Amino acid sequence: MTLILRHNTDLELNRAEYHSSVTTAELSAMVAFQAANPTWLACDCLNVVAPGAHFDTVSLADLGGVFETYRVLFEQQQLTIFRRAAWICRSPAAQRHITYWLNSRNLRKGMSSDVAQFDTFAEACAWLVIAPEQTPILESGAGFEEVARFDILAGLPAISR
C-alpha cells in the first residue's frame, strides 16, 4: 500500500497517508478520485508521511504537474473558506518533495489552502483547531475510515472505494 485517504466524521478531518514508494501515478489517481468526489476537497487534511516513505520516482516537474491539476480542481470548487492541510513527515527521504510542495508556490491562492508542516501531532492538532485530547486519535488514525486507497504497482490500476 502506498497512498491512503481516510476520513473522521466526528473531527470533519481527512487523513492522507503516504507509505513506501509513492509514485506519480498514485498521486494522479488521488487527484482524479477527488475530482470525481469533490466532497473530500472541502475538508481539512492531516497528511502523514510514514517512516521509509519516499517519492524517488516522482520528479519535481511531475510534482508541479500534480499541483497544477489540484490548483485547477480547487479553482473550480470556488470554496468560500480556506481549508487547512497539516503535514507531518516522518521520512527524511521524502522531505525534499514535501518542502517543494509546501514552499514552491502560493497554496492559499492556488488551492484555497493554508498549509504548514509540524514535527509533532500535538502541534498539528493545535493548528488544525482540534481539541488537544484528540491528539492520540490524530497520531494513531483511530476513527478514520478508509475512503480510497491508491496502490499502483507494476502498471496495475489504483484500488479505490
Name the band, by pLDDT with cuts 50, 70 and 90, for residue 156: very low
pLDDT of residue 124 exceeding 90: yes
Residue 21 pLDDT: 95
Report the percentage of the chain scoring pLDDT > 70.
Answer: 84
Q: What pairs with residue 8 in β-bridges?
A: 13
Can you read off the three cell numbers belonging to residue 109? Answer: 491562492
Element (H or E) spanning 68, and its range? Answer: helix 60-77
| pTM check: above 0.75 | yes
Q: Are 13 and 44 in contact (CB under 8 A)?
A: yes
What is the DSSP secondary-structure string of 122-143?
HHHHHHTT--GGGHHHHHH-TT
Question: Strand order in 44-49's β-sheet?
Answer: 113-118, 83-89, 44-49, 13-18, 3-8, 145-150
